Amino acid sequence: MYDIYCKVRDAKGYKDADVARGTGITKSTFSDWKNGRSAPKQEKLEKIATFLGVSVTYLRTGAQPEENGLTDATLKAAFYADHMDALTADELDEMWDDVKAYAAFKLKQKLDKRR
């Protein structure tokens, strides 16, 4: 699981310290995880996944969940239905990444307000 986390973290240009700051999880949690002393509990995994813009299932398994038939492809098609023909696949992917990042940002704001 840590290797999947590292892959996503690195792809987004973050270091453990960035994720720790963004989630409110201590750096020692990441160190313990890296060294195999412990693994984050569900609540922390949810914060990490939200910050990184992926699902907890993806962090655990590397596989995207297909709950209720909803996949990134079907959500993207629904979200951009009127513009699918006007944009390239790369443009759609880039815009979809922006949508997911914004959703993760807004969720983080909401979670931060609860503290």
CA–CA gap between residue 40 and residue 45 (Å, rounded): 6
Domain end among 46, 65, 84: 65
pLDDT of residue 85: 72
Average pLDDT, the chain: 81
Confirm whether pTM is higher than 0.85: no
| Domain interval for residue 87 | 68-115
Instruction: Report how many domains make up the chain.
Output: 2
Mean per-residue pLDDT for 15-31? 89
55 and 92 co-located in one domain:
no
pLDDT in tens, 47-99: 998 889 888 888 888 876 555 555 666 677 777 777 767 778 788 788 888 88
Asked if residues 5 and 29 have their Cβ atoms less than 8 Å apart, the reply is no
12 and 49 co-located in one domain:
yes
Chain-centre distance of CA 58, in angstroms? 8
| CATH number of the domain that residue 44 is part of | 1.10.260.40
